[in-house]
Amino acid sequence: MLERFYPDRWVDSAYGIPYESLYEQGVRGIIFDIDNTLVPHGAPADPRALALFERFHRMGMRTCLLSNNKEPRVKPFADRVGSPYIHKAGKPGVKGYERAMELMGTDRKTTVFVGDQIFTDVYGANRAGIRTYLTKPIDPREEIQIVLKRYLEAVVLFFYKRKTEPAGDRR
């Protein structure tokens, strides 16, 4: 039952994913959440985000920002990194993910999603049939409703780790 919330990969940071390797495997588009995935909640695009998106542009990787935030939050970030975006995306609904793939000209097999929340980001991408990368949140200071969800996420991640770690690695 919990498997629908499991990411394909759980990583420390969006900045440590081997994007060139994904490109070699046929991935041509990456959908990103913004807040606490690429920058702390509400922060503008920083030099690290700018460098990452420049890397994508150089390799020919398409991107799309998919956020449940309103346009005044999402548009300036997207403009700065040079990426199309969808605001008020309605995650975990699949329509936003499907629209992002349309904007990038990709499909489920050639798209990856990167985000920091299980119940919106990962669950929605799983429902849309997209490979998922769950990142650890950049900043532990979050809105109260997200803090409460993190407790539930810890339960899901406990069972995810039990399923994915070899028996000898469990402590």
- Torsion, Cα of 113, 128, 90, 48 (10° steps): 0
Question: At CA 158, angle to CA 154 and CA 160, rounded to 5?
Answer: 110
Residue 157 has pLDDT above 90, yes or no: no
Question: Mean of the per-residue pLDDT values for the chain?
Answer: 91
**Backbone phi and psi for residue 39, each to the nearest 5 degrees, phi listed first:** -145, 165
Separation of alpha carbons 138 and 55, rounded Å: 21
Proportion of the chain in helix, strand, coil states, percent, rounded to 5: 50, 15, 35
Domains of the chain: which residue ranges? 2-169
Residue 42, Ramachandran bin (φ over 0: left; ψ between -120 and 50: alpha; else beta): left
Give the model's confidence band at 2: pLDDT under 50 very low, under 70 low, under 90 confident, else very high: confident
pLDDT digits (tens, 9 = 90+) for 66-80: 999 999 999 999 999
Predicted pLDDT at 155: 72
Please, is 99 exposed, middle or buried when counting C-beta atoms within 10 Å of its C-beta (0-12, 13-18, 19+)?
middle
Q: Which amino acid is at 75?
A: K
The residue length of the chain stands at 171
What is 2-169's CATH superfamily?
HAD superfamily/HAD-like (3.40.50.1000)
pLDDT digits (tens, 9 = 90+) for 5-29: 999 999 999 999 999 999 999 999 9
Strands 85-86 and 111-115 come out as unpaired
Question: At CA 82, angle to CA 48 and CA 74, rounded to 5?
Answer: 85
Residue 125 has pLDDT above 80, yes or no: yes
Q: Which amino acid is at 27?
A: V
